[in-house]
Chains A and B, each alone.
Chain A
Amino acid sequence: MRWKRTVFLCLAALSGCPDNPGRDPPRDQFFFPIAGAVDAEGRWLYVVNSDFDLAYNGGTVVAVDLDRVRARAASPEARGCSPDTDAPGAFFCDESPFIPRPDQTRRISPFGVDAAWVRYPAAGRDRLYVIVRGDGSLTWFDLNRAPDGSRDDGALDCGNGGDPGGACGASHRAGVDPVQGLRNDVLPPDPAALSVDETQGWITVVHQSTDPNLPRASLFRDPIALAGAGQSAAPQLMNVVGQLPAGLSSLALVRRGDRSRSTWLATSRSEATFTLLQAYPGSGPLQDARPFLYRAALAPVQGLNTGANSRAVALDPAPGSNRAYVVSRSPEALLTLDLTDLNRPAVTEVLALPLGPSRLTALTAEVDGAPRTLVFVVSYDSRRLTVIDPEARRVVTRLQTQRGPHQLVRDPRGEYLFIMDFLDSTVEVLRLRPNMAVSAEQRTRCPDAALCRVLTLGLPSPPVVNR
Chain B
Amino acid sequence: MRPWRLGLAALVGCTSTPVFNSTNNFTRASDVAFVCLELPTDPSRASAVRPLSDCTLNAGDNGPGIAANLHLHALVTQSERGEVAVVDLATTAGVALVDNAPRTPGFSFLHVGPNPTAIAADTRSVWVACEGDRRLYRMDPALLRQDVDGLADGGNARFPDLRTSVALPGAPRDVALDEDVQGRHRLYVSLPDRGTVAVYDVEEPTAPMLLGEISLASAASDGGVGDVPDESSDVSTDIQDDMLDAGMDVEDASTDLPDASTDTPDAPTDGPDARDGAVGLVDGGAGSCPVSGAPRPLGLAVDTAQNRVYVSDERSCAVHVLDGASRAVLYRLELGVPSRALALTGRARAIAAPSPLPMDPSTVACGADPDHCQGTAYLYALGPEGGVYVLDLERRERVRANRMPDPNPDGRLLDPTLSPYRVAISTPVVALTAMNTREFAPDPAMATVPCRATVSRETCPTGINATPAHLRGVFVGALLRTGSLQLVDVDDYDTPCRRAGCGAAGVDATVYRFLRHAPRAGIALDRAPRLTGRPAVSVPVTGGERMNVGASPGTPAVACADSRGPNDDGTACTAENFGVEVTAFAAGQGTSTPTPDPYRARNESWLLTWEGILPGLDLSGGQLLDRTPEGSPDPDVARTGRLKLRVDGAAFCARGVLVDGATRDLVTLVDDPRPTPGMSASVCERLFGSGTTTVRRDLRVFEAYDDHLLVDLPEGLAEAAGDEQGARDAILRCFPQATRFQVRASNQWLAVGSRTGYEHAVRADAQGLCVVDRARQDATDALSTRCLLARVPLARRTGGTCATGRVCLGELDPSGRATAARTPIFANPYLCLQVFPGVRNDPVLGRPRAETILRGVQLFFTVTGAYEALRVETGMFPQAARFAPWTDRFYIVDTGATGLVEYRLNPIARARIFN
CB pair B620 A343 closer than 8 Å:
no
**Smallest CB separation, B680 vs chain A (Å):** 15
B621 interface residue (CB < 8 Å to A):
yes
Contact present for A285 and B876 (CB under 8 Å): no
Contact assessment for B616 and A278 in the assembled complex, using a CB-CB cutoff below 8 Å? no
Contact present for B115 and A294 (CB under 8 Å): no
Contact indicator B738/A330 (Cβ below 8 Å): no
B567 contact set on A, CB distance < 8 A: none
Check: A295 CB closer than 8 A to any chain B CB: yes
Among A68-76, A103-111, A300-308, the stretch in contact with B: A300-308
Residue of A with least CB distance to B80: A354
B132 CB-CB contact with A under 8 Å = yes
* B629 lies within 8 A of chain A by Cβ: yes
A288 touches B277 (CB 8 A): no
The answer, yes or no, to whether B566 is at the interface (CB within 8 Å) is no
> How far is the CB of A452 from the nearest CB of chain B, in Å?
14
Closest residue of chain B to A439, judged by CB?
B134
Contact of B895 among A292, A352, A440 (CB under 8 A): A352
Task: Name the residue on B nearest A306 (C-beta).
Answer: B876
Q: Is B114 an interface residue (CB 8 A)?
A: yes
- Please determine whether B133 and A440 come into contact, CB atoms closer than 8 angstroms: yes
Q: Select which of B277, B285, B896 is within 8 A of A332 by beta carbon.
A: B896
Residues on the A chain within 8 Å of B114, using CB: 398
- Residues in B with CB closer than 8 Å to A352 are 28, 30, 79, 877, 879, 895-896
Query: Contact at A286–B262, with CB atoms within 8 Å?
Result: no
User: What is the CA–CA distance of A258 and B678 in the complex, to the nearest angstrom?
Assistant: 28
Q: What distance in Å separates the Cβ of A458 from its nearest Cβ neighbour in chain B?
A: 27
Assess whether A285 is in contact with B627, with CB atoms less than 8 Å apart.
yes
| Given A299-B276, A303-B262, A331-B896, A286-B482 contact (CB < 8 Å) | no
Could you tell me which residues of chain B, from 733 to 788, have a CB within 8 Å of some CB in chain A?
733, 736-738
A52 vs B24: C-alpha distance in the bound complex, in angstroms? 31
Chain B stretch 193-238: residues in CB contact (< 8 A) with chain A: 193
State which of B277, B481, B648, B650 has its C-beta within 8 Å of the C-beta of A303: B481
Partner of B620, one of A295, A340, A440: A295
Within 8 A of B (CB), among A27-53: none
CB-based contact B631/A392 at 8 Å: no
Count: A-B pairs, CB below 8 Å:
129
Shortest B741–chain A CB gap in Å is 12
Residue from A280, A286, A299, A343 within 8 A of B738 (CB atoms): A280
Contact residues in A for B879 (Cβ distance below 8 Å): 352
Q: Is the CB of A288 within 8 A of B677?
A: yes
Is A395 an interface residue when CB atoms closer than 8 A count as contact? yes
- From B171, B277, B876, A330 is in contact (CB under 8 Å) with B876
Residues of A with C-beta under 8 A to B135: 440
CA distance A333 to B193 in the complex (A): 24
Contact A392 B192, beta carbon cutoff 8 Å = yes
Question: Secondary structure at chain B's binding surface: helix, strand, loop or mixed?
Answer: loop
In the complex, whether B61 has a CB less than 8 A from a CB of chain A is no
Report A260-298 residues with CB < 8 Å from chain B CB: 260-261, 263, 278, 280, 283-288, 290, 292, 294-297
Q: Is the CB of A394 within 8 A of B629?
A: no
Contact of B676 with A by CB under 8 A:
yes
B732 at the interface (CB under 8 A from A): yes
Residue A342, interface by CB 8 Å: yes
- Given the known A-B contacts A285-B631, A303-B262, are A292 and B738 also in contact in the complex, defined by CB atoms under 8 Å? yes
Q: Does A211 contact B (CB under 8 A)?
A: no
Give B344 Cβ to nearest chain A Cβ, in Å. Answer: 23
A341 interface residue per 8 A CB criterion: yes
Q: Is B570 part of the contact surface with A, judged by Cβ < 8 Å?
A: no
CB distance from A369 to the nearest CB of B (A): 11
Q: Is A373 an interface residue (CB 8 A)?
A: no
B92 is an interface residue with CB less than 8 A from chain A: no
Q: Which of B30, B262, B737 contacts A283 (CB 8 A)?
A: B737
Q: A302-B264, A440-B134 are in contact. Are A341 and B79 (CB under 8 A)?
A: no
**Counting CB contacts under 8 A, is B575 at the interface?**
no
Bound-state CA distance A397–B131 (Å) is: 9
Pair A302/B733 contact, Cβ less than 8 Å: no
Q: A244 to chain B: closest CB distance in Å? A: 11
B171 touches A261 (CB 8 A): no
Which of B133, B277, B481 is within 8 Å of A350, CB to CB? B481
Contact A331 B876, beta carbon cutoff 8 Å? yes
Which residues in B have their C-beta under 8 angstroms from that of A303? 262, 264, 386, 427-428, 481-482
CA distance A156 to B386 in the complex (A): 51
Give the Cβ gap from B157 to chain A, nearest Cβ, in Å.
20
Instruction: Quote the shortest CB–CB distance from B612 to chain A (angstroms).
Output: 19
- The reply to whether B262 and A346 contact each other, CB–CB distance below 8 Å, is yes
- For A171, the chain B residues whose CB sits under 8 A away are none
Report the nearest B residue to A283, measured CB to CB: B736
By the criterion CB–CB under 8 Å, are A343 and B616 in contact? yes
Is B649 close to A, CB under 8 A?
yes
Asked whether B877 lies within 8 Å of A331 as measured between CB atoms, the reply is: yes
B626 — nearest CB in chain A belongs to which residue? Answer: A285
**Is B98 interfacial (CB-CB < 8 Å)?**
no
Judge if A124 is at the interface, Cβ distance under 8 Å. no
- Identify the closest chain A residue to B627 (Cβ): A285
Q: Does A257 reach chain B (CB closer than 8 Å)?
A: yes
Q: How large is the interface on B (under 10, 10 to 19, 20 to 34, 35 or more residues)?
A: 35 or more
- Confirm or deny: B123 has a beta carbon within 8 angstroms of a beta carbon on chain A: no
Contacts of A145 in B (CB 8 A): none
B804 shortest CB reach to chain A, Å: 21
Q: Does A348 contact B (CB under 8 A)?
A: yes
**Interface pair A286/B736, CB less than 8 Å apart:** yes
CA distance A310 to B27 in the complex (A): 21
Whether A444 is near chain B, meaning CB under 8 Å from some CB there, is yes
Residue pair B131, A305 in contact (C-beta under 8 Å): no
* Residues of chain B contacted by A257 (CB below 8 angstroms): 648-649
B619 within 8 A of A: yes
Residue A344 interfacial (CB < 8 Å): yes
Are B427 and A278 in contact (CB-based, < 8 A)?
Answer: no
The residue in B80, B277, B676, B876 that gathers the most chain A C-beta atoms within 10 A of its C-beta is: B80
Answer yes or no: B576 CB below 8 A from chain A CBs.
no
In the assembled complex, B263 has its CB within 8 A of some CB on chain A: yes
Q: Which residue on chain A has the smallest CB distance to residue B264?
A: A302
Give, as a whole number of angstroms, the nearest-CB distance from B274 to chain A. 9
B370 within 8 A of A: no
Residues of B within 8 A of A284 (CB): 629, 631
Chain A nearest CB, measured from B113 CB (Å): 9
**Residue A148 lies at the interface, judged by CB distance under 8 Å to chain B:** no
A163 vs chain B, min Cβ distance (A): 42
Q: For window 138-190 of chain A, which residues contact chain B by CB distance below 8 Å?
A: none
- B651 contacts partner chain A, Cβ-Cβ < 8 Å: yes
What is the 8 Å Cβ interface bit string for chain B, positions 164-198, against chain A (1 contact, 0 not)? 00010001000000000000000000001100000
Measured in the bound complex, the distance between the Cα atoms of B623 and A397 in whole Å is 48
A443 interface contact, C-beta 8 A: yes
| Known contacts A278-B738, A305-B877; A344/B627 CB under 8 A | no
Q: Which residues of A contact B896 (CB under 8 A)?
A: 331-332, 352
Shortest CB distance A329–B (Å) = 11
User: Interface 1/0s, chain B 417-440, versus A by CB < 8 A?
Assistant: 000000000011010000000000
B483: interface (CB < 8 Å): yes
Name the CB-closest residue of B to A298.
B276
CA distance A231 to B264 in the complex (A): 53
> 1/0 per residue B53-68: CB within 8 Å of A?
0000000000000000
Contact of B619 among A288, A297, A333 (CB under 8 A): A297
Q: Is residue B376 contacting chain A, with contact meaning CB distance below 8 A?
A: no
Assess whether A305 is in contact with B482, with CB atoms less than 8 Å apart.
yes
User: Distance (Å) between the CB of B484 and the closest chain A CB?
Assistant: 9
B385 cross-chain contacts in A, Cβ below 8 A: 348
Q: Which B residues, 254 to 305, have Cβ-Cβ distances below 8 Å to chain A?
A: 261-264, 276-277, 285
The 6 closest A-B pairs by CB, nearest first: A305-B483, A331-B877, A258-B648, A280-B738, A305-B876, A352-B895
Query: In the complex, given contacts A280-B738, A303-B428, what are 11 additional A-B residue pairs having Cβ atoms less than 8 angstroms apart?
Result: A261-B648, A284-B629, A292-B737, A294-B738, A297-B649, A303-B386, A303-B481, A303-B482, A304-B483, A392-B193, A395-B79
9 interchain pairs (CB within 8 A)?
A: A278-B621, A288-B737, A292-B737, A295-B620, A296-B621, A303-B386, A344-B277, A384-B80, A394-B117
